[in-house]
Each structure stands twice: as C-alpha cells, then as structure tokens.
C-alpha cells in the first residue's frame, strides 16, 4: 500500500510541481466513502496561489466526490488523509466556514431553491462572509452595485437575478449563475465541476472570460472537465487524470490534447500494469 502511494507521489513530484511558495491547498493520501463505499482511494494534490489545475478522468472516477469532500458535503466520510487550506486543517471546518475561508464550488448540478430569491440568497451569503471576516454588513447601495457589476461580468439576464435561486433556470443558465455567485463571493480557491457542460459556445466563452477576469496572483482554480475545449479558454498550468479515486497522471495542457485523442484506456492500462 505504502509503496503504491510512493509511486503515485513520484508521478506528482515532477519538476513542474516544484514551484516555490506556500501551497494554498495540500491534499495528502485522501480516502473518502459514501454509504460505506470507498470512492477516493489515496488522493494527493497540491495547489499553489496563481495556479489553474484541470482535473479530467472517466465518469465515476471520483472527481465530483473530491469537490464534495473539499467543500464538506456531509454525505461523504473522510476515512484517511489530510487537507490543508491556507495553513488550516480544512477537514475540521463546517461547510460554511470553508466557504468563508475562501473555497467556492461551482456545482456540477446546481440546486434549485424555490421561494428563496437570488437577491436574498446573495445578500445573506455576502453578509455572512463579511461577518466571518469581521466586517460590517454591506450597505444596500454597495450591494446593488456589486450585483450589477458581477451580472455584467457573466452577462447574466436581470430577470434571472430576480427569481428564486436556480428555480426553472435552464441548464446553461444555472451554470452561468454559478459563475455569477463565484464573482460575487470572490473566492481564493474555486472548484469548477463541469461548468462547461451544458453551455452553448457563446456561453462557454462568456463563462470562461468571467473566470479569467477573476484570476489573480493569489487565488487558484481547480477545473474539472471532460473536454479539452474549455482549456482553450481557461489555460491550465497542470492537467491531472483522476482515475479510480486517485490522481494517476499529471502533466501540462498537452496531456489534455492527448486524452482528447486517445481516451482513457491507455491510462487505465498504465495503472493496471504498475507494480
């Protein structure tokens, strides 16, 4: 078991990963279950400020599970390993604390909340974040200005912002709404779980632009996707392959092209042939 893990981390400690500076997020040997079934089986990943990491991998590999575990979804149980975020033990924190520490997840399947207006939802979220950081509540005018600014950034229809959270939104509208929320909350680590799927070409460009405009030297993103195309817009520093609960291969954006061309079989084979 240990040897396997060492082999994994050898793949990871490629020269690419050996950058200077403090890590924003460090995941070590992470194991997680759902309903008693192990999904993450010893996952390692390090993300430094300013980096964009793409995670690819076959259906059911555990990509969304990783996102859920990082954001503290109570359906998942962490059995082994550690996650450090900005020097703090992330696994000790409640979901809302993680969010207020600066983690944001753009859900693969955003949730509809009938009866809770977008405005009320966003105002509550912003104020909770401010409270967490010891700031006063946002003023009505500042809040409206912020909403307007961020709506423009993702070119979101005004009508959507006046409705209940995601209620009756189309698939694409929901994804755009995720990026809008991300823009509002300005996270230091954003995790985008298949934000590109379900978006038309224009929307994809708008959403990717939004993400790029939010990029800063001190924040980072993990972009989960099935399609190399997104990576034309959001250019990753690293591409990882998540397979069977582990990161089994890491590389540059060229790896994404290779996957697009060759699929995952060769990776699966490599994994199976490994000692």
Ligand X SMILES: Nc1ncnc2c1ncn2[C@@H]1O[C@H](COP(=O)(O)OP(=O)(O)OP(=O)(O)O)[C@@H](O)[C@H]1O
Q: How many Å apart are CA 264 and CA 113, to the nearest integer? A: 37
The window from 25-33, 123-131, 193-201, 240-248 that contacts other proteins (CB under 8 A) reads: 123-131
34 touches ligand X (CB under 6 A): yes
Q: Strands of the chain (E only): list them.
A: 25-34, 37-47, 52-56, 76-85, 88-89, 103-106, 113-117, 164-165, 189-193, 220-224, 238-243, 246-251
36 touches other proteins (CB under 8 A): no
Among 24, 25, 30, 39, which residue sits at the site for ligand X (rule: CB under 6 A)?
39
Q: How many Å apart are CA 48 and CA 246, to the nearest integer? A: 19
By the 8 A CB rule, do 205 and 101 touch?
no
Least Å distance, CB 39 to other proteins, is 17
110 touches other proteins (CB under 8 A): yes
The window from 46-54, 63-71, 93-101, 113-121 that contacts Mg ion (CB under 5 A) reads: 63-71
Tell me, by CB under 6 A, how many residues bind ligand X. Answer: 13
Least Å distance, CB 4 to ligand X, is 20
Q: Which is nearer to ligand X, 57 or 236 (CB)?
A: 57
For residue 238, give Cα distances in angstroms to 39, 222, 256: 23, 10, 9
Least Å distance, CB 253 to ligand X, is 19
Least Å distance, CB 61 to ligand X, is 4
Our measurement of the distance from residue 6's CA atom to the centroid of its chain's CA atoms, rounded to an integer in Å, reads 26
The window from 9-17, 84-92, 101-109, 236-244 that contacts Mg ion (CB under 5 A) reads: 101-109
Among 64, 68, 190, 228, which residue sits at the site for Mg ion (rule: CB under 5 A)?
64
The window from 11-19, 50-58, 93-101, 241-249 that contacts other proteins (CB under 8 A) reads: 93-101
Residue owning tokens 């809008």: 180
68 touches Mg ion (CB under 5 A): no
35 touches ligand X (CB under 6 A): yes
By the 8 A CB rule, do 233 and 202 touch?
no
The window from 7-15, 30-38, 109-117, 127-135 that contacts ligand X (CB under 6 A) reads: 30-38
Q: How many Å apart are CA 190 and CA 256, to the nearest integer? A: 20
C-beta contacts of 255-260 below 8 A and 24+ residues apart: 256/54, 256/56, 256/228, 256/231, 257/228, 259/56, 259/228, 260/227, 260/228
Which parts of this chain interact with Mg ion (CB under 5 A)? 63-64, 108
Which parts of this chain interact with ligand X (CB under 6 A)? 34-35, 37, 39, 57, 59-65, 108
């Amino acid at each position: 078991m240990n040897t396997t893990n060492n082999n994994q981390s050898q793949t990871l400690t490629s020269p690419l990963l050996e950058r200077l500076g403090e890590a924003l997020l460090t995941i070590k040997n992470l194991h997680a279950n759902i309903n008693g079934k192990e999904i993450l089986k010893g996952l390692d990943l390090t993300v430094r400020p300013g980096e964009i990491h793409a995670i690819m991998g076959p259906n059911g590999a555990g990509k969304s599970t990783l996102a859920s575990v990082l954001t503290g979804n109570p359906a998942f149980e962490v059995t082994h390993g550690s996650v450090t975020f900005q020097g703090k033990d992330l696994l000790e924190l409640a979901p809302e604390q993680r969010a207020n520490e600066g983690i944001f997840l753009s859900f693969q399947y955003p949730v509809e909340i009938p009866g809770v207006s977008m405005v009320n939802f966003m105002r509550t979220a912003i104020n909770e974040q401010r409270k967490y950081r010891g700031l006063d509540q946002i003023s009505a005018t500042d809040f409206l200005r912020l909403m307007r600014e961020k709506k423009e950034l993702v070119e979101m229809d005004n009508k959507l912002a006046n409705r209940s959270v995601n209620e009756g939104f189309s698939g694409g509208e929901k994804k755009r709404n995720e990026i809008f929320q991300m823009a509002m909350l300005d996270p230091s680590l954003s995790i985008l779980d298949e934000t590109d799927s379900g978006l038309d070409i224009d929307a994809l460009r708008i959403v990717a632009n939004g993400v790029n405009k939010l990029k800063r030297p001190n924040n980072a993103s993990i972009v989960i996707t099935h399609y190399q195309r997104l990576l034309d817009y959001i250019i990753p520093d690293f591409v990882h392959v998540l397979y069977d609960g582990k990161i089994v291969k890491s590389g540059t954006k060229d790896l994404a092209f290779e996957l697009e061309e060759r699929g995952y079989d060769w990776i699966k084979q490599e994994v199976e042939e490994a000692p």
